[in-house]
Amino acid sequence: MDKKVAIITGSRRGLGEAAAYRLARQNYDIVVNDRVGKEEVDKVVENLQEKYHVNAIGVMADVSKEEEVQKLLSVVKERFNKIDLLINNAAIVEDMEIADRKTELFNETIINNITSTYLMSKYIGKEMFDHKGGKIINISSTNGINSFFPTSIDYDASKAAIISLTHNFALEYAPYVMVNSIAPGWINTDMNKQLPKKLIAEENEKIYLKRFAEPFEIANFICFLASDECSYLNGEVIKLDGGY
């Protein structure tokens, strides 16, 4: 049986990296993508190959740019000849007060987070549709639903937009491509470990489980959505916040 092929954007670290390892355990071949950090991308690829004996490649591309998405698609098709799963995970965030946020940074966040999801879904989703099968999983956030932080207003707006993209692409590619989104709450990534201890303590108190999620816990659910067992869920957004 042919292995399935997964593309994961923004997968040199954090949730994207955790998803790559979890899917490799399920015998997926993996395309690791990021726009920066080639050494980190290469290390993830090496680990995937050594630990799980899957085919893995790293493709450096800024997936918010159309020409780079097209090049990525060309490389993946040449290497694997198919794509079964796309995880739109690439995102940036920089917290600051609204009064201090320059319009250029606001626009950069919007373009990076929304346009990347749009372009990857447009090109990879069409490829899946033409082959009459595939799944797209978009990574949104509770910041786009019910947890609001003015210090990340552009990030929050982008995650709300990704929910809208999910609904529209699910309709566009029906009935062959299943498009869903997950909206995680706080995750215990390296980036979030740098948050002020006071903020972490305050947010833990708001979470029913009294802790941030571990990346593998979110990756486990991604793996379920990607699996054949998840065969009748489409156009949905699932919160994974431990209760909040």
Known catalytic residues are 155
Return d(Cα 10, Cα 92) in angstroms, integer.
9
**Residue 215's CB: how many other CB atoms inside 10 A?**
22
Structure tokens at 168: 């529209």
